Amino acid sequence: MGDTNTTALIAERNSSPELVQYLKRIQSVIWNRKIFKVGENLVGIAPGRAFSEDIVCILWGCDVPVVLRKVKKDGEGMTYELVGECYIHDMMDGRAVEGVHFAMKCGL
């Protein structure tokens, strides 16, 4: 599977307005993002500044999964920084809460 140059497709004279609108939407969603794989079956899209040591979590009350980064350990426990939101295919729409706890390494 190769790369798709959405900018070149948008610039083509014979691209339909619907295709151009669709490609611009794709660009807005994946711009500065990374694709990651977790285990054998899960793939997702994370912020471009995410690292493999970061943690993907689905937190109670959040609408989307998030990427967290360990910052420091203090006397009361670990502190985390929010890297940003992410998408995990087949773990959206409440699917993750079916298994009470959900956290994993990104594997970016």
Residue-wise pLDDT tens digits, 30-80 = 888 888 887 777 888 889 899 888 988 888 788 888 999 999 877 778 889
**Confidence tier at 13 by pLDDT (50, 70, 90):** confident
What secondary structure letter does DSSP report for 78? E
Q: Can you list the pairs that 48-52 forms with residues at least 24 positions away whose Cβ atoms lie under 8 Å?
A: 49/83, 49/84, 50/83, 50/84, 50/86, 50/106, 50/108, 51/106, 51/108, 52/105, 52/106, 52/107, 52/108
Instruction: List beta partners, residue 87.
Output: 45
Q: Which residue has the higher pLDDT, 22 or 76?
A: 22
Asked if the model's pLDDT at residue 93 lies above 70, the reply is: no
- Record the pTM: 0.66
